[in-house]
Chains A and B, each alone.
Chain A
Amino acid sequence: MIVPRLALQSLRNRALTASLTVLAIAVSVMLLLGVEKVRTGARQSFANTISGTDLIVGARSGGIQLLLYSVFRIGNATNNITWKSLQDIAKQPDVAWIVPLSLGDSHRGFRVLGTTPDYFKHYKYRDGQPLTFADGKPFADLFGAVIGADVAETLGYKVGDPIIVAHGTGSISFVEHEDKPFRVSGILEKTGTPIDRTVHVSLEAIEAIHVDWKQGIPMPGETVSAEDVRAMSLKPKAVTAALIGLKSKIATFRLQRMINEYRQEPLSAIIPGLTLQELWQLVGTAETALSVVSAMVVATALLGMVTMILTTLNERRREMAILRSVGARPGTILGLLATEAGLLTLAGVVLGVVLLYAALAMVQPYVDRAYGLHLSINPPTYREWITLGAIVLAGFLAGLIPAARAYRLSLADGMMVRT
């Protein structure tokens, strides 16, 4: 076992360059797998967000945009749907339930969603799981609010705490509805969806806080107190979107067509699953580009390794001549160098995986909170194992380039190093 040991010692002799090479490979592997993890994590998160909703209705716009603002709280609605149109749709015989959504306000960076208590009954996520309460219950009072798990955790809210809703969706707002404070009536269990970062209030409350507002600003001298507003009619005139559940899936396309051809108002109805597919097609090109770039980074790291071995080859010709003199075949020398490259790559891959999981463990809570992206820390998938195996094989094969050169040199050198 002297030869493998000497090969390791030879590697240790070049510890600095070897470890830098391993690090380069590790970082590239981390990037490649990281992109894959984020990709699958994002897809999983999106796919898990909504379940059991057959159609989403909104003002006429792109389907993807409607899906993004109504379910994922990304971007803003172009227009609203009138309450009358919504009632018309609700009256359709195929409709089992309809939950209106009203967006546009926020609380310390978290979106405020106006809806009905039915929302907590009908909204489903991740394979049909219903929303459950960690504490409290749905809003019964006009100024009751149900907050998602992340809102409660980040802001340290408990049931009964007051909330001031701000106008607009920025994280810092200069216009607040401070005259009409809400109280937390319930806190939802963590879902791993945008619901965790949403403050839910009643549709009437959304009307109430805007009752003394016109065109997005409070009217001076027209303030209505929180007590007086309770006596007013708070029937909403318009909402942002609505989720629809049907009695039978067969009616989905019929109702979708009916809504899309609705004469009184330009509306769109989308099927969440299909629109999500459209979204993947859209971002698929970017995903492929990212994967190609990270694969190129891996190739660059392997090239760096080949360069490292090639540059040390000249000073190692003595070593090879000595090995040849004691009976090592040129094939043994070829094998030694290719194995060295394979080992360096293997070390890089192992380190890369370790670094990736360490990084995942570190950034997971932050990414979850900041982007609602749940990066699952699972062992590598079959596909990832294949990728890792392919990288080690590629490293071994790349090592054949300097190995073949060493083979030729050791044949040509004979007993002495011929320059």
Chain B
Amino acid sequence: MAQPSPRSTGEAKPAGGTSDIITMSDVRFCWPGPHSFLMAIDEFVLPARQRVLLTGPSGAGKSTFLSLLCGIVAPLSGRLEVLGTDTATLSNAMRDHFRAEHFGIIFQMFNLLPYGSVIDNVLLPLSFARKRRERASQNGSVEEEAGRLLASLGLEAGDLYGMSTANLSVGQQQRVAAARALIGRPEIIVADEPTSSLDRNRQDAFLDLLFAEANAAGASVIMVSHEEALGCHFDRVLRLDDVAVTTRSTAV
């Protein structure tokens, strides 16, 4: 894997201050293909340690917004600064590496690789992120850190860790996914409807545990959901319509 230049990750500002960790301005993006839409984000700011909920109906472009934020796709134009680095100017390989080091991502469903144990799934990001691996092994082995995270997220049973993820309940899978996002203390946790398959009580419990760990690690959380009722858990609730304007486009 290509090593990023010092500029890309080395100068990334540490989380914990009060500065903004993500700023987007005049960002334009369009998926390739004839039936795509153009997304325009004039201004978006995520301050450090803040928990933001982004709401909007299905198909509004929530996942696209997160893909841009994490650098899975690059904007066509505009400025996208994460931890002081303009990720829009990074090469694809550097952006992938940047994401591995600074983002923990939780999906809506099917979060885990269906084969492989719980521990394998939690440790997966460390294969791509050296600094996160170093941080994860500060207080012992990475396996111990994974165990600690899983325990604090409510997965106590030790023999569960060696189990195949295919045998876990949906709620258990989401906790494993959360542990995977949190391991190595990335600065930003991104979650794409992580609670949509859980009932209300479990949603609250899951978010409480997630935020407790994120707080302890000093991470910011940005989550998208169509459920505005979850807003009570967050510092700020934004409607995607207010952040990003999407228009149907035939442009590529």
Contact = CB atoms under 8 A, between A and B. Distances in A.
B70 interface: yes
Interface string A306-344: 000000000000110111111111111000000000000
Interface string B112-129: 111110001001111111
Interface in B1-49: 1, 31-33
B99 interface: yes
A328 B128 contact: yes
A362 interface: no
Interface stretch (B59-67, B147-155, B228-236): B59-67
Interface in A1-45: 1-3, 5-6, 9-10, 12-13
B192 A326 contact: no
B99 A322 contact: no
A6 B125 contact: no
B68 to A, nearest CB: 9
Contact of B192 (A6, A10, A416): A416
Interface stretch (B103-111, B207-215, B243-251): B103-111
A330 B99 CA distance: 13
A13 to B, nearest CB: 4
A329 B92 contact: yes
Nearest to B177: A322
Contacts of A322: 107, 111-113, 124
Chain B: interface size category: 35 or more
A325 B96 contact: no
B73 interface: yes
B72 A319 contact: no
A329 B67 CA distance: 14
A5 B120 contact: yes
B64 A414 contact: yes
Contacts of B115: 6, 9-10, 12-13
B242 to A, nearest CB: 21
A197 B127 CA distance: 67
Nearest to B71: A327
Of A6, A318, A416, most buried by chain B (CB within 10 Å of CB) is: A416
Nearest to A14: B115
Contact of A326 (B66, B100, B116): B100
A414 B105 contact: no
A175 interface: no
Interface residues of A, number: 29
A236 B14 CA distance: 110
A6 B116 contact: yes
B93 interface: yes
A328 B96 contact: yes
A330 B93 CA distance: 9
B1 A325 contact: no
Contacts of A327: 96-97, 99-101, 125, 128-129
A161 B66 CA distance: 93
Given A10-B113, A329-B1, A329-B93, A415 B124 contact: no
Contact of B105 (A2, A10, A412, A415): A415
A151 B112 CA distance: 69
B97 to A, nearest CB: 6
A415 B120 contact: no
A415 B97 contact: no
Nearest to A418: B31
B51 interface: no
A324 B72 contact: yes
B90 to A, nearest CB: 12
B192 A332 contact: no
Interface string B71-106: 011000000000000000000110011011101010
Contact of B114 (A13, A323, A412): A13
A185 B93 CA distance: 84
A415 B127 contact: no
A325 B114 contact: no
A237 B33 CA distance: 92
A328 B92 CA distance: 11
Interface in A393-418: 411-412, 414-416, 418
B62 to A, nearest CB: 9
A270 to B, nearest CB: 67
Contact of A6 (B32, B67, B124): B124
Contacts of A324: 72, 96
Contacts of B123: 2
A319 B63 contact: no
Nearest to B119: A2
A10 B165 CA distance: 13
Contact of B63 (A12, A329, A414): A414
A6 B113 contact: yes
A324 B100 CA distance: 9
Interface centre among B32, B63, B180, by most chain A C-beta atoms within 10 angstroms, is B63
B30 to A, nearest CB: 12
A318 B63 CA distance: 14
Interface in A66-96: none
Name, among B66, B123, B124, B192, the residue most crowded by chain A CB atoms within 10 Å (CB to CB).
Answer: B124
A119 B173 CA distance: 85
A3 B120 CA distance: 9
Interface string A232-243: 000000000000
Contact of B73 (A1, A3, A323, A414): A414
5 contacts: A2-B123, A6-B115, A319-B113, A326-B128, A329-B96
Given A326-B128, A327-B129, 4 more contacts: A2-B124, A9-B120, A326-B125, A327-B99
